[in-house]
Structure 1
Amino acid sequence: MVPNTLAFWSYLIFLIPSIICSLFVLYHLLFDRVLRHALHNHVIIVVLFIVVIYEITVYPWMLYYYQYQNISGIPNIFCTIRTFLDWNLCITQTILISWAAIERHILIFHDKWVSTKKKRFFIHYLPLIVLVLYCFIFYIIVYFFPPCENLFDHSSLTCVYSCLYDIYAFAIWQTVAHQILPVLIIIVFSTALLLRVIWQKFRIHQSIQWRKYRKMTIQLLSVSLLYLIFYLPLSVAHTILLWNLMDDIYFEFQDYAIYFSYFVIPLFPFVCILSLPELRTKLIHTLHLQRRRIVPEIILIKAPVYKHMNI
């Protein structure tokens, strides 16, 4: 089992820089006209909003739990809201990234499908709206309006267990459709996109707009690699759970899989910056200007001291 102290400090170290990075990326994606109008950035923008909400709501609660290891006296409604946000936001951003893996094939190889406003609405905007609403309504029902009574355990991090998970068909749908399938889609469609782009690039001798498609491809592959590293172990754990192959080794593996899965959210903004050359340039420029501003201030502060000493 992962020690609470290790979980606390490892999450805290990444959390604050991640929030700053998320706001930086969001600011430029929203206020830069070119970046804002690029269709392939829209999923990233929505996921970044989810990341920020998650980081300022769920993670402080996690840090409190790992620090004090005691949440007795917490109202049940607080546990319900916290668990709803955790599951809803986590599953939503995973499903959105899996959709992005599919949509990249459309944007690169079937761009005529989004050539008009009507087509863009049905192919691009409507899936985003439907997926977000589906996850929101699904977990609203699961945690706030279940047909049975949820169970509360104030010694647990989630502190509420939905009674719907006791229904086998529901548990299968939740596990397969929300946790296993999205990760498989990310892996399969990202790999297929890479192979497809390379094949097209050499088959028709770069007659496709390679530079334009390269950015979209690199962005998706970078994000997909993040999910592959930190979410795949958890998907494997869920698959083992479905087959009832649990033993002591499984429960230890599951603890570490859950621990590493929580790094996806804070690392996501950094992956966005690394995969977008425009943002990397702006970040370097911002840091350079900040450094030039700090140096003169230090000189101005020290100058009167030297003058006084000469007197």
Structure 2
Amino acid sequence: MVEIDNLDVVVNGSASIHHVKFILTLSLQIPALILSFLIFLFFITNQVHLRKLQNQALLVLFIVNFIQLSSNISLLVHFLRLNRISPATGTYCKFWVYLESTLDASNAFLAAVISIQRHTLVFQPNILRIRLKRYIFYYSPLCFAFCYPAIFYLGAVIFYHCDDSQWNFELNMCGDTICYLSNNQILATYDWIVNTALPIIIIIFANATLIIRVIEQKHRRQQTISWSKQRRMTLQLLSISSLYLVTWIPSIVSGLMQQVNATTSLYDIQENYISDLTYLICLLLPWMCIGLVPDFKKWLLKQFHRIKRPHNTIGGIS
């Protein structure tokens, strides 16, 4: 009887947590989707901004982010609303795991690539004026950041043999029990190091060195460096990177702690709270565009005033 009562408490507690997460996620998703549409409309109607390489990379990042908002976050909202997986099938679980894993990794790799490329844009922009070098050093890494996770998880999740009994239809993303995580330690370790930890390490190192280089360049060759422009580009990148660091580092640290000393309480904290922090990336990234692309803010205010401005009517003279 006591065990049944304890089970009811756990179930009710989980339902309450999911209800709160549902409200918070939906309240962030809808404005983020609207703002994403406005971002795309801005670039469509102001294509001159796409000639800037840094804006091209940001647009690719926003496209991946929009896919996350419209697909993966929608699956999350659907789960939180029902408090269970529906449809409760292994095929659905594989699709969700593939979608979230691919988009998370693509998002992180894109941020890492942009962090590295910003060094070239700031200190050696002339290199990218040559078409061949621009394709090799700029467009190819962006393409890799998008294509590699899709191909890797196609083999690791979709085509990997899996026992459907491993899925937990009461947990987010079916318990995240990807078959290779429990059956193939080598592949699981590679995934954690390369696809999760490595992009965050690159983001930290690239941004730290960028700040140091910008400061050194300012003092050494201030007469040839437009400090205001470089400062703006640096702050733009740091604002994005800080979002990735704040959301991913707790997951990486908790993952390391699980490897050293796995406990049920730590797993519950990671499952119910820490792992959900990564959703904040795609939910908050569109709002950063207001500061990342200064002209977008001006354009947005202009559209707002145009809608708000009353139409003057001229009455007939009798």
The alignment-based identity, stated in percent, is 26
Q: Is the 8 A contact 1:273 1:280 kept in 2?
A: yes
For residues 86 and 218 of structure 2, what CA distance do their matches in structure 1 show? 60
- Count of residues paired in the alignment: 296
Worse-superposed segment, 63-72 or 245-254: 245-254
For residues 60 and 126 of structure 2, what CA distance do their matches in structure 1 show? 24
Superposition pairs of residues 79-94 of structure 1, within 5 angstroms: 79-94=93-108
Please tell me whether residue 51 in structure 1 is matched to residue 52 in structure 2. Answer: no
The aligned residue for residue 122 of structure 1 is 136
Worse-superposed segment, 181-190 or 158-167: 158-167
Please tell me whether residue 16 in structure 1 is matched to residue 30 in structure 2. Answer: yes
The aligned residue for residue 102 of structure 1 is 116
For residues 235 and 95 of structure 1, what CA distance do their matches in structure 2 show? 16
For residues 267 and 88 of structure 2, what CA distance do their matches in structure 1 show? 27
The aligned residue for residue 260 of structure 2 is 244
Please tell me whether residue 69 in structure 1 is matched to residue 83 in structure 2. Answer: yes
- In structure 2, the CA distance between the partners of 1:61 and 1:146, relative to structure 1 (3 Å rule), is same
Q: Is the 8 A contact 1:183 1:231 kept in 2?
A: yes
Query: What do residues 37-58 of structure 1 show as CA deviations (whole Å, max 9, x unaligned)?
Result: 1111222111111111111111
The aligned residue for residue 170 of structure 1 is 187
Root-mean-square deviation over aligned CA pairs: 2.3
- CA shift at 1:222, angstroms? 0.8
- Alignment TM-score, normalising by the size of structure 1: 0.87
For residues 240 and 301 of structure 2, what CA distance do their matches in structure 1 show? 21
Please tell me whether residue 155 in structure 1 is matched to residue 157 in structure 2. Answer: no
For residues 228 and 52 of structure 2, what CA distance do their matches in structure 1 show? 15
- Alignment TM-score, normalising by the size of structure 2: 0.85
- CA shift at 1:202, angstroms? 2.5
Please tell me whether residue 263 in structure 1 is matched to residue 277 in structure 2. Answer: no
Worse-superposed segment, 102-111 or 12-21: 102-111
Q: Is the 8 A contact 2:110 2:142 kept in 1?
A: yes
The one-letter amino acid of 1:64's match is H
1:185 to 194, 199, 202: 202
- In structure 2, the CA distance between the partners of 1:271 and 1:72, relative to structure 1 (3 Å rule), is closer
5+ residue gaps, structure 2:
1-13, 314-318
The aligned residue for residue 293 of structure 2 is 276
Q: Is the 8 A contact 1:219 1:272 kept in 2?
A: no
Please tell me whether residue 285 in structure 1 is matched to residue 299 in structure 2. Answer: no
Q: Is the 8 A contact 2:79 2:86 kept in 1?
A: no
For residues 143 and 301 of structure 2, what CA distance do their matches in structure 1 show? 34
For residues 281 and 208 of structure 1, what CA distance do their matches in structure 2 show? 26
- In structure 2, the CA distance between the partners of 1:233 and 1:191, relative to structure 1 (3 Å rule), is same
- CA shift at 1:147, angstroms? 4.8
The one-letter amino acid of 2:255's match is H
Query: What do residues 76-135 of structure 1 show as CA deviations (whole Å, max 9, x unaligned)?
Result: 322222221111111111111011111111111122331200000100011111221111
Query: What do residues 167-215 of structure 1 show as CA deviations (whole Å, max 9, x unaligned)?
Result: 1111111111111121121122112212211221222224213333233
5+ residue gaps, structure 1:
300-311
The one-letter amino acid of 1:173's match is Y
The one-letter amino acid of 2:57's match is V
The one-letter amino acid of 2:170's match is S
The aligned residue for residue 10 of structure 2 is none
Query: What do residues 147-172 of structure 1 show as CA deviations (whole Å, max 9, x unaligned)?
Result: 55564332222126332222111111
